[in-house]
């Protein structure tokens, strides 16, 4: 119980996923072309991502995108 040990296994304390414009992300399910790398090309209430394989773009509501994104593969270093 000392030093926050009690809260170690408490759920609901997850960090929000961090992503930015031009980051390459991996989604939970691959695109039908077989590729699973997507580049974020527009951010707002909706997120537009472009498949790195066939260059098809998809517009997804932000909440749905955050749920379906697995991880950031390549971060855009440009500020």
pTM of this structure? 0.73
CA dihedral of 39, 77, 66, 8, whole degrees rounded to 10: 140
- Per-residue pLDDT tens digits of the chain, which is 79 residues long: 455 454 454 555 455 678 999 999 999 999 899 999 999 999 999 999 999 999 999 999 999 999 999 999 999 876 5
pLDDT value for 7: 47
pLDDT value for 50: 96
Could you please state the CATH topology (level 3) that the domain comprising 18-74 is classified under: SH3 type barrels. (2.30.30)
Instruction: Say if CB 43 and CB 21 are below 8 A apart.
Output: yes
Task: Lay out the sheet containing 24-27: strands in order across.
Answer: 57-61, 46-51, 37-42, 24-27, 69-74
pLDDT value for 76: 84
CA dihedral of 61, 64, 69, 74, whole degrees rounded to 10: 20
Domain boundaries, given as residue ranges, for the chain: 18-74
Instruction: Give CA–CA dist 79/77, Å, rounded.
Output: 6
Instruction: Give CA–CA dist 65/40, Å, rounded.
Output: 11
């Amino acid at each position: 119980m000392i030093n926050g040990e009690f809260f170690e296994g408490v759920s609901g304390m997850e960090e929000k996923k961090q992503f930015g414009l031009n980051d390459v992300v991996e989604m939970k399910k691959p695109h039908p072309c077989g590729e699973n790398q997507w580049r974020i090309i527009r951010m707002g209430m909706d997120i537009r991502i472009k498949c790195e394989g066939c260059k098809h773009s998809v517009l997804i509501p932000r909440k749905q995108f955050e749920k379906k994104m697995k991880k950031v593969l390549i971060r855009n270093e440009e500020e």
